[in-house]
Amino acid sequence: MTLVTTPNLTDADGFYAALLAAHKGRTEAESHALNAQLVLILANHIGDAAVLREALELAQA
């Protein structure tokens, strides 16, 4: 599997709105926890360590 870095969401605006809604009313710490849990859930879904390492490197650039 290769990391997809081109736009790939069918409803990017809808997802962004849902993400913002999930954070509404949360404290900063709660929002950080939500983001961490989301990252771990999606990492588990991807399941490919090489792809996840590539994503980590890209995110740090």
Q: Which residue has the tokens 């650039």?
A: 61
On whether the CB atoms of residues 49 and 40 are closer than 8 A, the answer is no
pLDDT tens column, 10-41: 999 999 999 999 999 999 999 999 999 999 99
The residue extents of the domains of the chain are 27-61
pTM (two decimals): 0.88
pLDDT at 45: 97
Average pLDDT of the segment spanning 41-61: 97
pLDDT at 1: 87
pLDDT at 55: 97
